Amino acid sequence: MKKDIVSIKTDFIKLDSLLKFAGACETGGEAKEIILSGLVKVNGEVCLMRGKKIRNGDKVTIDRENLELEVKG
């Protein structure tokens, strides 16, 4: 599985914004679709909340792309 580390300078980033910021999708609509399809896991659990706050140390996995994002502050 490909692993990318995403650095943010804020306390958190919303899940849909993280997917766009990391280049996992091109638009907010695409991010919403991926999340609501149940393809995204946050720290190992499926997350259907596109506004979920992702913080330093959280791991986001996108099943369709075999991509793991690790957030660093």
Contact present, 4 and 65 (Cβ < 8 Å): no
List, for residues 26-42, the tens digit of each pLDDT value.
Answer: 999 999 999 999 999 99
How does DSSP classify residue 9?
S
pTM of the model as a whole: 0.87
In the three-class reduction of DSSP (H, G, I as helix; E, B as strand; rest coil), residue 15 is classed as helix
- Identity of residue 29: G
- The structure tokens listed for 54 are 């992702």
Stretches where the chain sits below pLDDT 50 are none
Distance of CA 47 to the CA centre of its chain: 10
